[in-house]
Structure 1
Amino acid sequence: MRASTPVALLGLATAVMGEVHQLIVGTFGTEFLYTLEFDDQALTLDLISNMSTNAASSWIALSHDKKNLYGTSWNIPTGYVSYTLNNATDIVYDTNVTIGGDCQSSKAIFIMASSEPPYAVYGSPFGGTADCGSVMSVNADGVISGMQQNYTYSSSSGVHGMAFNPANTLLYSSDDSGNALWTHSVDQTTGELTYVANVSGPATGSDPRHVAVHPSGEYLYVILEGANELAQYSIDNATGVPSFDNVTYPLIPSDATSSSYWSDEVAVSFSGNYLWATSRGRATNTTGYISGFSLSTTGAITQQMFLTPTTSTGGTSNSIAPSGFSDKWAALTDSASGFVEIWELAANGSAASIVAHLDLVDGGCCANAVWYN
């Protein structure tokens, strides 16, 4: 297989055409990992591996070098799971780590890995007594070696997503249950976190769910699950603490009933020129929506480019994963009907459309996807 080589063009960054790319997909309720293959010239999406595991992972994340895969685990017991990636289809289970402490009654909902030494892995539980987070150490091979730190938020917290600043010196947590955004500093030797600040959501019931940071480090984008909006925050250069810019954009149509939707995910494109965001429909007769935004060189949102219905409600996912080699492609997962789609962004970012669709109906698929190459 040829390696994917990014080529910078004016406007939309694009990959050399004719490459084949692989994605790994996790599941909510079944114990599988799926590997898919996307041909960006033929515009086909195929299942090339279906690996049985001992954990259902509602969220998965790659290590900085893509030699390891980390996932949440709801069943062996509740905690986090670590795999070695020999390649996208040769995935070897290594170990699992329990949440432990006062949060062991909660279910792990999110996981991410630092791209800087010591390459610690970070997770958050949700539900139960989910007022804490987890920091896990890794060994020389990138395998999770143990629980480094259990830290607390507040008694009302339920963190659903996290994001680093570009240097991985600050970690931002979106507190869905506590309607807040948290900032922690990262110890560059141990990976442990220290509390810096807690900022309330824009309004009561806005419910920050997921967050993303622009590569410039100047802006933070927040999905407001309850308000069905995307919010823009500026990051203070001195303190690293975000502040609300009083800028929001709708993630559902203006004539839609907000209580019929719950917004989900936000992610920055490969070049940093665009932003993707999604919402989900709560009822079977509604669709979710996918939206795109243009960004300035510093990351300020300049325009909402489109708001387009997705194929179905999205279920509990409608998770968007932009490729790591081009602005052109993004993967969207759906747990209502159990499928993965590849969406293509127009050359000027003005629209997006489905170019490939793959059904993976197993009663638990699909959670989120990660691009292996």
Structure 2
Amino acid sequence: MNLQTVLDLGNTHGPSANATGPAPLRHVLSGSFRSISLFLLAFSPSERTISHLQTVPAYGPHQYLAANQHKNRIYTTSWALPPSLSSWNVEHSDSWRVTHINTVPITATSSYITVPPPYKYAYSMGGPTGEVHHIEPDTGGLEEKVQEILFIPEDELEKADKTRKALRYGSHGIEFTPSGQQAFVPVLGTHTIEMYLRDTNGHLKHVFAATSPRGKDANDGPRHVKIHPNGKILYCVTEHSNYVDAYRIYPTSLEYISSSSLLPPDLADSSETFRGDTLMLSPSTSANPTPKVLIATTRGSTSDIRGWLSIFPLDDDGSFKAPPAEIERYQTPTSGGKANAIDISPKGSFSEDGLWILLTDDDDNTASASGTGAVRVLEWDGWGNGGVKMVAEWPSNADDKPADSQEEIIQGASHAIWLD
């Protein structure tokens, strides 16, 4: 594999190609749980189709993708062994190109990775450890490890499971407040959210552990967190109990506020058959400077149980709107497999309140699907406008790949992100 492979994507998919015609294409990069490659796609809002631009030789299977503020640097976690992180360059031009920058070793397989302001360090977490890596300012590549964080006693690390299996009971993600001074790590095995303060050298210092609001024995499994732009509210999806919990953020602690179920009321007693997954806040725009909704997903525990996407209305301060405020529910086409992850982008001129939602699918039981799409685009145009709808999927049919094609088609999408 040539690590310096440059993917010249041609001149037909750049922003200027659509300047006076239909809405510009929206570019997407996706990982896969069953492929070592990354996949560059283009979504046409006007034609409502997803096209495949390029298969990117990579180091997967990839669990999670994160971008810097310009979305011209991408950082990925991987299930490959030995454990590693990779960095990628994305050129935003008439001729889109993606190049591999570098790959660095880590102690244990990481789940999530993030690059918070001022974009000097990459933070990854997974299983028994977390790591902080310096980012080379010119290339965007990952440099030396500056800190390792342990979630088990140091004398147990040598014998600890460092594969992806440890993600089921170890650390699972990391997010920062907008100031970049506070960081939060959900840990499935201890049912806690660990809080850290960051110093000027990028190092994290542990200051607090928030236990489950339902008690130490609730087996909640905190999995994924996000933080309101006001820096005052943290939201956490619980994998085992299928809640979104909201906490108030203080300088060195968290205080539980309230919870909302990821499941419709008639399934509230069936949480053991679902796996709480990911959550996102609607992006800030000039029309809506503060998030109006929080969107979260849960997967079916088996292929014959379809997952759910829920849209929760938020007050201006970030708290959940009290009943009888509406919660929008959308049953996903499949269980989602190990995915059902989301990324969100405003629809722009298409709708003031509207959102494009990327949804990834890793369900290998295609008989239960409405198609075989591994990456889907959903749309939501705000309350009372018809709910969530699926508008495009890729691949749209198992026969999309020509019999003589050597091009790899995605199998089991993991996480996809909007690049523009």
**Which secondary structure state, in structure 1, belongs to the residue aligned with residue 15 of structure 2?**
coil
In the alignment, which of 258, 261, 277 is matched to residue 296 of structure 2? 277
Instruction: Give distance in 2, aligned partners of 1:280 and 1:371.
Output: 22
Aligned to 2:382: 347
1:97-176 → structure 2 map (5 Å cutoff) = 97-99=104-106, 104=107, 106-117=108-119, 119-126=120-127, 130=128, 132-141=129-138, 142-155=140-153, 158-176=170-188
**Which secondary structure state, in structure 2, belongs to the residue aligned with residue 159 of structure 1?**
coil
Aligned to 2:162: none
**Which secondary structure state, in structure 2, belongs to the residue aligned with residue 249 of structure 1?**
strand
Does residue 229 in structure 1 map to residue 248 in structure 2?
no
**Which secondary structure state, in structure 2, belongs to the residue aligned with residue 258 of structure 1?**
helix
* Contact 1:76–1:96 (Cα < 8 Å) also in 2: no
**Which secondary structure state, in structure 1, belongs to the residue aligned with residue 194 of structure 2?**
strand
Aligned to 1:77: 82
Aligned to 1:10: none
* Contact 1:249–1:304 (Cα < 8 Å) also in 2: no
For the aligned residues, what is the CA RMSD?
Answer: 2.4
Read off the aligned partner of 2:87 and give its amino acid letter.
S
Aligned to 1:8: none
Read off the aligned partner of 1:26 and give its amino acid letter.
G
Quote how far apart the aligned CAs of 1:324 are: 6.2
Quote how far apart the aligned CAs of 1:333 are: 0.5
* Contact 1:158–1:175 (Cα < 8 Å) also in 2: yes
Aligned to 2:198: 186
Quote how far apart the aligned CAs of 1:343 are: 1.2
Instruction: Give distance in 2, aligned partners of 1:19 and 1:363.
Output: 24
Aligned to 2:329: 307
Q: Structure 1: where are the runs of 5+ without partners?
A: 4-15
The normalised TM-score by structure 1 is 0.87
**Relative contact order, higher structure (CA 8 A, sep 6+):** 1
Instruction: Give distance in 2, aligned partners of 1:17 and 1:273.
Output: 28
* Contact 1:55–1:76 (Cα < 8 Å) also in 2: no
Quote how far apart the aligned CAs of 1:82 are: 1.3
Q: Percent identity?
A: 24
Q: Deviations over 1:212-269 (max 9, x none)?
A: 1111111111101111111111112xx1522111x21111233332211111001101
Quote how far apart the aligned CAs of 1:41 are: 2.2
* Contact 2:293–2:314 (Cα < 8 Å) also in 1: yes
Read off the aligned partner of 1:368 and give its amino acid letter.
H
Instruction: Give distance in 1, aligned partners of 2:76 and 2:261.
Output: 31
Q: Structure 2: where are the runs of 5+ without partners?
A: 1-13, 154-165, 285-290, 349-353, 365-372, 399-408
* Contact 2:237–2:243 (Cα < 8 Å) also in 1: yes
Read off the aligned partner of 2:62 and give its amino acid letter.
S
Q: Deviations over 1:13-36 (max 9, x none)?
A: xxx982321010011231111111
* Contact 2:39–2:410 (Cα < 8 Å) also in 1: no
Aligned to 2:265: 254
Aligned to 2:358: 331
* Contact 1:324–1:371 (Cα < 8 Å) also in 2: no
Aligned to 1:13: none
In the alignment, which of 412, 415, 418 is matched to residue 365 of structure 1? 412
**Which secondary structure state, in structure 1, belongs to the residue aligned with residue 414 of structure 2?**
coil
* Contact 1:332–1:342 (Cα < 8 Å) also in 2: yes
Instruction: Give distance in 1, aligned partners of 2:175 and 2:346.
Output: 16
Return the structure number with greater strand share. Answer: 1
* Contact 2:374–2:410 (Cα < 8 Å) also in 1: no
Quote how far apart the aligned CAs of 1:76 are: 5.2
Instruction: Give distance in 1, aligned partners of 2:97 and 2:58.
Output: 12
Aligned to 1:9: none
Quote how far apart the aligned CAs of 1:42 are: 2.1
Read off the aligned partner of 2:335 and give its amino acid letter.
T
Aligned to 2:100: 93
Quote how far apart the aligned CAs of 1:77 are: 2.3
Aligned residues: 348
Instruction: Give distance in 1, aligned partners of 2:70 and 2:150.
Output: 29
In the alignment, which of 281, 305, 324 is matched to residue 268 of structure 1? 281
Quote how far apart the aligned CAs of 1:190 are: 2.0
Does residue 321 in structure 1 map to residue 328 in structure 2?
no
Instruction: Give distance in 2, aligned partners of 1:122 and 1:201.
Output: 24
